[in-house]
């Protein structure tokens, strides 16, 4: 009897257990889930931790609390709360300057218990042990705000003029002629050459180097603001290839003397010739990667001629502005592209590291301060992708690179004295590091095709030798602490199949890597409509060994609707070395199309790809590629959607356009060959062109000129514009955009 009751109870328990969720039971995605502008997007992102360093101590910041993390155990101890900070900052109460969250809290002084917090109205330093404000800056929220932790001075731009507020709050006005035409203290050269700001503090915070950009000679592109009752003229300065470029000079302001000097660069000496902007002049007109000597007496910058094939590292006296010496020169029959400032060794102020592709791949070189090469520090057919910093105690440089595999990114250290390289991370996938102040520890943010996110902390001295690390072996025992292993946030949803592989480029020898996304219920006996998603341009890659092989959420949405998407990184894309990148020189789109058509040939070889239902979609350079493929291979692609496309490179800007294409005067054959205007007559399939109506990057003249060419040729593309939007759609407009793209394929490729 007891046995019967037990079996009956067990049967009831089994019957009432929740059944495992089948694929058919799982949720379907909407664009509100998948798109960054969607209202449920954040809930479907992998779990994360926001971490920052306080010297060599690790801190987790959150909305309302900050925690100190024990690096060995991962145990957290609360340092303070948001209420604590606002209570200690009560002196701001009358002006309603309370801190609203702690997510962006920083700890600028490794040896002091000081946290920096703020909002648009105020920026304060609080001693969280003494529980009081120790300093505050009342000019936060101004344009181009740049605070120096050493001098506690802030550089900023207000009403076009450049100012410095010193630690006592006294304002120093550095310019008087600032305007829309003459720009101070902001990014120049249209953010090319690694430039992302316009002010550069010396190590001691007593001198400020800054850009001055005269763009009065640059033509206005006539943008229009359509939102007022009467539309208004709202132009952009847009220097097109082969036309006048803006003129940049570099100033240095001395806080002690209150004086500004300008570096005696070639532009300073020959301003008129720079204004004329002749592409055949060898005068350097691009000044980038500004760096300071450790003693704050010398300014270094790379000077590049307009042809972008002659690059020189030059030093200048920060007091007089006089040119001291040319320390390094690199030339090319194609182009040289300086992206990184030199970095002095913390333990030896007479030596610096320089990054260059001169041997075919981006690597590290050690020079002394007079420009003598000491040694090449890294080498091989792989790329140093990012320098994280230095470990002074071990005299090593910590960096990210891809020697293991082009799709994988690992963290390494290299000893400056002997060149010995040590692999610090070993799990397959993509690793990004954040180094502590001394370089003794680093946070590792790791992802792989099947793992959304891992976060660990480890010493920057362990690891395995390069190439000897077993796949997925984890860190050496006792060397690292796992702080987070994120679960799959899509677990309750029906997910597509993500695959990765390689094919040969059109040259027959180069490996190209692709990603393919298939429907969750993929049946190899069916025929599927397939969309080639393409970018293809410089400084980008689409395929890597991160979560879902770096798949874009829109690909999941399309897979859910029964499409296969195919993504291939052609020659010309990044992280494969100089020759791979420069194969497209003077003929943008041509080599790229050849490689993409190798991908199409591969697709056609697959029995489940419907070769009669091939589509193509891309944005920006990918928009250019989309229309190029539609017009050059009109019988291959049935449907295309091109966003923000370049149509003719003569309409694109000087710095980028001339690097890859030279000028229209120098390379008329290349511009004619790559232009899409005279190919408008070739359009056969359905093509939708989409643009931001106020795009300042690929100006609407591109799209409109192509529409005019189609009118004259009698071909019929479709066109859609987003009023008030730039090169990419912001916020919820992005959801609308991707629904529109999807519907176009549903209407014409299904």
Q: Active-site residues: which are they?
A: 620, 695, 727
- Residue 413 sits at the vertex; the CA angle it makes with 412 and 417, to the nearest 5 degrees, is 150
Q: DSSP states of 10-54 as a string?
A: HHHHHHHSPPPPPTTTSBPP-HHHHSTTSTTTGGGSPP--EEEEE
Contacts 24+ apart (CB under 8 A), 726-731: 726/692, 726/694, 726/695, 726/696, 726/697, 727/620, 727/644, 727/692, 727/695, 727/696, 727/697, 727/698, 728/619, 728/644, 728/692, 729/37, 729/692, 730/37, 731/37
Which H helix or E strand runs over 512?
Answer: strand 511-518
DSSP single-letter state for residue 460: T
Beta strands in 132-283 (DSSP E): 132-137, 143-147, 154-158, 161-165, 171-173, 182-184, 199-201, 207-214, 220-221, 224-225, 232-233, 236-237, 247-254, 260-262
Would strands 143-147 and 232-233 be described as parallel, antiparallel, or unpaired? unpaired
Beta strands in 279-429 (DSSP E): 284-292, 298-305, 310-317, 323-331, 343-345, 348-356, 363-368, 373-376, 384-391, 396-401, 410-415, 421-423
Name the 3-class secondary structure at 246: coil
Expressed in percent and rounded to 5, the helix, strand and coil fractions of the chain are: 20, 35, 45
CB 496 within 8 A of CB 560: yes
647/642 Cα distance (integer angstroms): 11
239/248 Cα distance (integer angstroms): 13
Backbone angles phi, psi at 499, to 5 degrees: -130, 155
Would strands 384-391 and 396-401 be described as parallel, antiparallel, or unpaired? antiparallel
Would strands 564-568 and 528-533 be described as parallel, antiparallel, or unpaired? parallel
697/652 Cα distance (integer angstroms): 8
* Intra-chain end-to-end CA distance of the chain, in Å: 63
Q: CA dist 368 to 62, 211, 292, Å? A: 43, 27, 14
207/201 Cα distance (integer angstroms): 6
What would you report as the CA-atom Rg of the chain, rounded to the nearest whole angstrom? 28
442/444 Cα distance (integer angstroms): 6
Q: Which residues of 245-270 are buried (b: 16+ CB within 10 A; e: fewer)?
A: bbbbbbbbbbbeeeebbebbbbbeee
Q: CA dist 130 to 80, 123, 322, Å? A: 12, 18, 47
Would strands 528-533 and 609-619 be described as parallel, antiparallel, or unpaired? parallel
Q: Is the dihedral of CA 343, 347, 351, 357 positive or negative?
A: negative
Q: Taking Cα atoms as reference points, which of 38, 87, 84, 49 lies closest to residue 64?
A: 84
Beta-carbon-side half-sphere exposure of residue 400 (alpha carbons within 13 Å): 20
């Amino acid at each position: 009897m007891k046995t019967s009751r037990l079996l009956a109870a067990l049967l009831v328990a089994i019957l009432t257990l929740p059944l495992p969720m089948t694929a058919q039971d799982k949720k379907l995605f909407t664009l509100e889930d998948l798109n960054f502008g969607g209202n449920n997007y954040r809930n479907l992102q992998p779990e994360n931790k926001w971490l920052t360093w306080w010297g060599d101590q690790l801190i987790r910041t959150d909305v309302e609390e900050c925690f100190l993390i024990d690096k060995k155990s991962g145990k957290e101890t609360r340092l303070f709360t948001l209420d604590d900070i606002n209570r200690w900052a009560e002196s701001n109460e009358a002006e309603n300057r309370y801190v609203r969250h702690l997510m962006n809290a920083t700890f600028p002084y490794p040896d002091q218990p000081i946290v920096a917090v703020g909002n648009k109205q105020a920026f304060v330093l609080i001693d969280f042990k003494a529980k009081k404000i120790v300093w505050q800056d009342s000019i936060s929220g101004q344009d181009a705000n740049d605070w120096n932790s050493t001098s506690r001075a802030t550089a900023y731009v207000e009403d076009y003029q450049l100012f410095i507020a010193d630690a006592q709050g006294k304002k120093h006005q550095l310019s008087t002629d600032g305007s829309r035409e003459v720009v101070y203290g902001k990014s120049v050269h249209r953010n090319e050459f690694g430039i992302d700001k316009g002010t550069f503090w010396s190590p001691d915070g007593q001198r400020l180097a800054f850009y001055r950009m005269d763009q009065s000679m640059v033509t206005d592109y006539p943008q229009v603001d359509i939102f007022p009752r009467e539309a208004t003229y709202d132009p952009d300065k847009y220097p097109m290839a082969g036309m006048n470029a803006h003129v940049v000079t570099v100033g240095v302001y001395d806080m002690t003397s209150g004086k500004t000097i300008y570096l005696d660069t070639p532009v300073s000496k020959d301003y008129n010739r720079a204004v004329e902007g002749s592409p055949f002049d060898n005068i350097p007109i691009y000044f980038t990667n500004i760096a300071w000597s450790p003693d704050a007496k010398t300014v270094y910058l790379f000077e590049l001629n307009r042809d972008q094939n002659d690059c020189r590292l030059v030093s200048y006296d920060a007091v007089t502005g006089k040119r001291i010496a040319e320390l390094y020169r690199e030339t090319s029959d194609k182009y040289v592209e300086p992206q990184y400032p030199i970095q002095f060794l913390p333990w030896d102020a007479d030596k610096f590291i320089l990054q260059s592709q001169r041997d075919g791949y981006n690597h590290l070189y050690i020079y002394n301060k007079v420009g003598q090469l000491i040694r090449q520090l890294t080498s091989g057919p792989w790329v140093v992708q990012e320098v994280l910093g230095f470990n002074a105690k071990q005299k090593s440089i910590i960096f990210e690179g891809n020697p293991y595999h082009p799709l994988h990114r690992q963290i390494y250290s290299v000893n400056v004295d002997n060149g010995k390289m040590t692999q610090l991370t070993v799990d397959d996938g993509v690793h990004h590091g954040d180094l502590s102040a001394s370089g003794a520890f680093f946070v590792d943010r790791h992802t792989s095709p099947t793992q959304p996110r891992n976060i660990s902390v480890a010493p920057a001295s362990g690891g395995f030798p390069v190439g000897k690390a077993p796949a997925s072996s984890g860190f050496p025992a006792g060397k690292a602490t796992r702080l987070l292993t994120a679960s799959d946030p899509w677990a309750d949803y029906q997910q597509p199949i993500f695959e990765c592989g390689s094919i040969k480029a059109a040259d027959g020898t180069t490996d190209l890597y692709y990603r393919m996304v298939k429907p969750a219920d993929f049946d190899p006996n069916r025929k599927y409509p397939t969309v080639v998603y393409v970018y293809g341009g410089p400084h980008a890659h689409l395929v890597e060994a991160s979560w879902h092989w770096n798949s874009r959420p829109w690909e999941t949405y399309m897979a859910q609707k029964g499409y296969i998407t195919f993504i291939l990184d052609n020659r010309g894309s990044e992280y494969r070395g100089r020759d791979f990148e420069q194969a497209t020189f003077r003929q943008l789109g041509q080599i790229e199309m050849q490689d993409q058509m190798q991908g199409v040939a591969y697709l056609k070889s697959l029995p489940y790809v419907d070769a009669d239902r091939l589509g193509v979609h891309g944005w920006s350079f990918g928009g250019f590629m989309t229309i190029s493929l539609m017009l050059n291979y009109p019988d291959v692609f049935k449907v295309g959607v091109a966003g923000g496309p370049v149509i003719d490179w003569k309409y694109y800007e000087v710095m980028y356009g001339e690097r890859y294409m030279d000028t229209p005067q120098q390379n008329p054959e290349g511009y004619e060959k790559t232009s899409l205007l005279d190919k408008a007559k070739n359009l056969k399939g359905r093509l939708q062109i989409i643009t931001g109506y106020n795009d300042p990057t690929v100006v609407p003249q591109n799209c409109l000129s192509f529409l005019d060419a189609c009118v004259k040729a009698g071909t019929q593309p479709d066109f859609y514009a987003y009023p008030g939007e730039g090169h990419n759609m912001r916020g919820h407009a992005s959801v609308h955009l991707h629904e529109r793209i999807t519907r176009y394929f549903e209407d014409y490729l299904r």
